[in-house]
Structure 1
Amino acid sequence: MSKKLLSKNKTARKLTRNEKQRITIANVALIPSVIKNYIDTLVEVYRPTFTYKLKVEFFYYIVTTIIKRQNTYENKTLENIPVALNATILRGIKSDYNEYISWLIEQEVIFMAENYEPGHSSNKYCFADFILSPLKEDSVSEIVELKALESSTITVARSIQESEVYEENKHLLKWFNNDLEIDFEGAKTYIKHLSYYEGEIYDLTHKKVHWNHQITVLHHKAFYATRNEESDFRLHTVLTNLKKIFKPFVTYKGQELIGYDLKNSQPFFLIFLIDSIINSNSRIDNIIDRIYLKKIYNSFMLQKLWEVLSTEGFQKEYEIFKTWVLNGEIYENMESIMNPKKRLGSYFANKYIARKKVTEKKKMDNVRALMKGVIFTLFFSSLKTRNSDYKTFKKVFPNLVTVIEIFKRKANADFSKLLQNIESDCMIDFVSRKIANEYPEMPLFTIHDSISTTENYAEILKALMPQYVYEYTGLTPKIEEEKWKKHDFQIDYEKRLKLHPEWYAYNGF
């Protein structure tokens, strides 16, 4: 394990006024007890000497931030992956933040997995093996307060109502209150006995560390909210990071939650984007300005787009693709052109693992999941990808792929950010806001392209959501109902026991 310490900054860059105004952290955080006790003991016995006054709460903040970052959508596998920390925020809290990180590395709490290269990568951190082992054995967490970190540059929000994004998103965030509950004991028992997940039986210990943290945050109502217009502009909350398998345990005022998902949302918003450019719809202008420099978009990108959009070849491709998307049958129709082959009774997809820098084959449950992966590769891969599915799709839809590649020309992530910004503007700022204005007493919870409410308001939401999506886009969406209590991820333990009695017996179940 790397013990290399971070180099200390000679001078800390002075924060701008805007940076000072936007640095807000929550007062309540959840830290695993084994880590907190270890840090507290070391601080008491071998008190570190830093440039400025020691604030032990900053250790807690760093640890909980790593856990929170590891619990994001990008880390679907919920592994102990290295994550980057926001240096601007860390510096804003403590100008000598490097000394705190170095100390945690020395004490084998965390380690630095990637060295910083200007313009290429950031330092990334994950938990060291020394601390990971007891963490897997005991994932109990406890609440810590971070009020001591408040300063002239840092605002410590005592509740979600004091978060910097609350007022602009009040129609959604006001429902994060004491009435939002999780059956904590039921969820903990579920995690304890869960051994079969996503079609396979394997070691789930590190996933369970993350899962316990997710349900504990919700149980202790350590609510938070973030929304960054410089990235995806999505509203991130405790529910957006909650694994789907825990939805059956969540209620509001004791009522079941029922959600409505916008089917094929990313392809749907791609259609809206292309239609908006063709029809000069000004609704997306501000969104495009957030992602691209106006001068570059108007002088270069728009010209290139029109060169493709105006061709007969593109129009023929687009008519087919648009029909597939609006009929909600894109993945089914893609099967005919991708012609996937089964091996040993299953489908397999090539997935590039960035941190390992290798391509691995991943087993897919069904052909729909496989085709969904092809679309995500199409939208989110780099222009230099060697993915065979990407090349197959491009042969059938060369002009459509060229349009997508124009949006990726400067940076690969720009296109995904653009679609996510459009989705957020539609679902957060238009659809849910209009529903909230019409029915202010209706609880509303968003998870990106999905809106949920309690069972007594479900029929109203079911009628209004597609109506307002159409009003925003001019396109008729396909909406899919999701009853949280009857989620597909629930496990029939008796069935699993019959299928795999030898595994359950071996592991003491």
Structure 2
Amino acid sequence: MRLYIPENLDIDQIVYDYPPNFKKYKHKRDKLLYVIHLINALTLYNKDLMYDDFVSISAKILQDKISNYKEYLNYLINVAKIIETDNQYFVGSKSKGFRLTEKYRCEVAIHSISDQTFHRKLKVERNNRAVSVKHLNYLTKWFDEKLEIDIDYVNKFLAEEYALKKDNKSLWQSKKVNNYGKVEVKYKRPIDQLNHAKISAEKISRKDYYLLHDDNVYRFHSNLTNMRSVIRNAVTYDGQKLISIDIKNSQPYLSTILLSRSFWIEQKNEPNAPNELSITFDEPKKSSFSSFNNINKNNYKGDGRIDERMSISHIKVHDTDSYIMLGDIDKTLMNNEFSQYINLAVSGTLYEFLEQQFSLRLGETFSNRKEVKTAVFQVLFTDNRFLGQEDAKPKKIFKEMFPNVYEVFRQIKSKDKSLLPRLLQSIESYLMINVIAKRIAIEYPDAPIYTIHDSISTTEEYVDVVEAIMTEELTKAIGHTPKLEPEVWCKSNMVKHLETLKEKAKVVA
């Protein structure tokens, strides 16, 4: 277990100058460093945290590792002045946030844990992750010695990128966030991006793999899923380039299944029935079915292979979800409006169409595709009540153009705004992991495969067969042929990224 701390932090000198006087300390310097480490490390599992000035750290995470964590926090904040807090805590929704003080916002260095008792405590979490992916050996087995990253090239790239970005805020990655009806722009600080990428690359270089199958939307998380996409270009398998096959406009594409008459969310009225949202697939129709949750635990053979006699027709989004009835929507909804939305989503041109409509009706232009995607995600995934806000203009325009499509999505989110994205991600996870990747593993056992949520990466030798299986299985499940986009991971993409930054810097200057 390694910790990542600011390279200019001399914890021994600080402890010497300001001796901790609380009970149970006894030179537990590793625990002090662990708290500091979390501020950098948590972004490895959710890179969007880099948009926040303060990284929220739950009390449970700290309590599990350090029983008297409050005393450590107090020392680091008020005595050593290494970290600071926003002191904002809301029960059930937000933990207190922490960040390094300005002096220590610099490149990280690696610290090895010397306290073996504390090291064993940290290993418990790793063992729990290993249990979560035990049934996914056909995915995890490719995280081996042959997966490599050119770390020297990455570090050189990061140094050049940081030099371009650090004093030029126009180059910083940003996104618009709606905060209680007020839209604000948030940025990723270049030093945070550098450290995130440096740690990600270092872990792959050391074969220190983070593998987890979550129990929320059943996604498979790995070192690759949360790595900055530009850094993946330095990753190879057995010396071969990897090629990613992405579903274009994946969330809108998957959402078309909710507009099909043969695929409805149904309400079950049986007494004492478990609360679950169930989604019925067209194919197959002959098997007895279990929930997505149960098949992960119960329907694998001893050698890790799925029992092909069991199929899934129900995806359980969450135990506490309420039932939703969409069956009362008028059957005439399968009309030109539905067809137009489906055609745009399936062809992969929905973002371009909506960008044109938003620009036409709002008189605004989008600087890049990410801004368009953010606007579309606002339409699909924000709370229904957001429609009344001034900044909800894209959402209102979508409702005007696709009123019945909007109504389907509105009903799904009527009790919980997170339900639609979780529902789509659960469908995505099932199809990519349990159907497509599993079939590839059975038919082409020598094909290296890496799932990154809505995409699968493999070597050039297997690109055609992976793409064919993805097309066939997605078409069968969703009812429409997807638009797939292959992208080669290669260092020339990193060169282009730097060239683009240099051009933008010239324009600003």
Bin the TM-score by the shorter chain.
0.7 to 0.9
Give 2:487's match in structure 1, choosing from 482, 485, 495.
482
1:289 aligns with 2:316: yes
Task: Tell me the SS of whatever aligns to 2:495.
Answer: coil
User: Contact 1:31–1:144 at 8 Å: present in 2 too?
Assistant: no
Report how far residue 486 of structure 1 moved.
6.3
| Compared CA separation, residues 87 and 225, structure 1 to 2 (3 A) | farther
Q: Equivalents in 1 of 2:3, 2:19: separation in Å?
A: 23
CA distance in 1, matches of 2:81, 2:68: 20
Structure 2 partner of 1:412:
417
Distance in 2 of aligned mates of 1:260 and 1:458:
8
Query: In the alignment, what sits opposite 1:16?
Result: none
Query: What CA deviation, in whole Å up to 9, does each residue of 1:176-196 have, x standing for no partner?
Result: 222211111111111112255
Does the alignment pair 1:81 with 2:79?
no
Q: Which amino acid aligns with 2:421?
A: S
Distance (Å, rounded) in 2 between the aligned partners of 1:145 and 1:450: 39
Question: Compared with structure 1, are the counterparts of its residues 81 and 438 closer, same or farther at alpha carbon in structure 2 (3 Å cutoff)?
Answer: farther
d(CA) in 1 for partners of 2:500, 2:83: 40
1:111-260 to structure 2, matched below 5 A, reads: 111-132=84-105, 135=106, 138-144=107-113, 147-149=116-118, 155=124, 157=126, 163-194=130-161, 200-201=170-171, 204-230=190-216, 232-260=217-245
What secondary structure is seen at the aligned counterpart in 2 of 1:141?
strand
Find the residue that maps to 1:412 and give its secondary structure: coil
Alignment partner, residue 328 of structure 2:
307
- Measured after TM superposition, the shift of residue 293 of structure 1 is 3.7
Residue from 12, 29, 51 that aligns with 1:56: 29
For residue 383 of structure 1, report the CA deviation from its aligned partner: 2.0
State yes or no: 1:29 paired with 2:2.
yes
Distance change in 2, residues 1:66/1:495 (3 Å): closer
Aligned pair 1:267/2:252, yes or no? yes
How far apart are 1:199 and its partner, in Å?
11
Secondary structure of the 2:496 match is coil
Aligned in 2, Cα 1:224/1:40: closer, same or farther, shift over 3 Å? farther
What is the Cα deviation at residue 447 of structure 1?
1.1
Aligned to 1:69: 42
CA 61–211 in structure 1, closer or farther in 2 if over 3 Å, else same? same
- Which consecutive residues of structure 2, in runs of 5 or more, have no partner in the other structure? 173-188, 267-278, 282-289, 293-313
- Could you say which residue in structure 1 is the equivalent of 2:346? 326
For residues 352 and 194 of structure 2, the distance between their equivalents in structure 1, rounded to whole angstroms, comes to 34
Match of 1:5 in 2: none
Question: Does residue 437 of the first structure (1) align with residue 446 of the second (2)?
Answer: no
SS at 1:491 equivalent: helix
Note if 1:470 corresponds to 2:475: yes
Deviations 1:255-284 (A, max 9, x none): 111110011111122122443643875359
Task: Report how many residues are paired.
Answer: 442
8 Å contact kept, 2:88–2:95 = yes
C-alpha distance in 1, partners of 2:503/2:18?
54
The normalised TM-score by structure 1 is 0.76
How much has 1:406 moved relative to structure 2?
Answer: 2.0
Q: Residues 402-444 of structure 1: CA distance to partner in whole angstroms, max 9, x if unpaired?
A: 2212222223222212211221121122211221122222211
- Structure 1: gaps of 5 or more residues: 1-27, 349-363, 505-509
Whole-Å Cα distance in 2 between the matches of residues 253 and 50 of structure 1? 51
Report if aligned partners of 2:133, 2:140 keep a CA contact under 8 Å in 1: yes
Aligned to 2:183: none
* TM-score, structure 2 as length reference: 0.76
Pick closer, same or farther for the CA change 1:93–1:244 going to 2, 3 Å: same
Give the 3 Å change call, closer, same or farther, for CA 409–285 of structure 1 in structure 2. farther
User: Residue 218 of structure 2 aligns to a residue in which SS?
Assistant: coil
Separation in 2, partners of 1:392, 1:341:
8
The amino acid that maps onto 1:409 is: S
Partner of 1:361: none
Cα distance change on mapping 1:58 and 1:439 into 2, 3 Å: farther
Cα 1:415–1:339 change in 2 (3 A) is: same
Q: Mark the CA change 1:502 to 1:333 in structure 2 (over 3 Å): closer, same or farther.
A: closer
Task: Return the alpha-carbon distance in structure 1 between the equivalents of residues 360 and 32 of structure 2.
Answer: 49
Instruction: Give per-residue Cα distances to partners, 1:338-360, cap 9 Å, x unaligned.
Output: 344798xx824xxxxxxxxxxxx
8 Å contact 2:171–2:504 — kept in the other structure? no
**Aligned-pair RMSD on alpha carbons?**
3.5
Checking the alignment, whether the CA contact within 8 Å between 1:258 and 1:454 is kept in structure 2 is: yes
Separation (CA, whole Å) in 2 of partners of 1:163 and 1:175: 15
- CA deviation vs aligned residue, 1:184-217 (integer Å, no higher than 9, x gap): 1111111112255799546834432333233222
How many percent of aligned residue pairs carry the same amino acid? 26
Counterpart of 1:87, as a letter, is A
Write the deviation string for residues 363-393 of structure 1: whole angstroms up to 9, x where unpaired. Answer: x22xx54442322111222222221111111
CA spacing shift, 1:105–1:497, aligned 2, 3 Å: closer
SS of alignment partner, residue 224 of structure 2: coil
Partner Cα distance (2:315, 2:4) in 1:
39
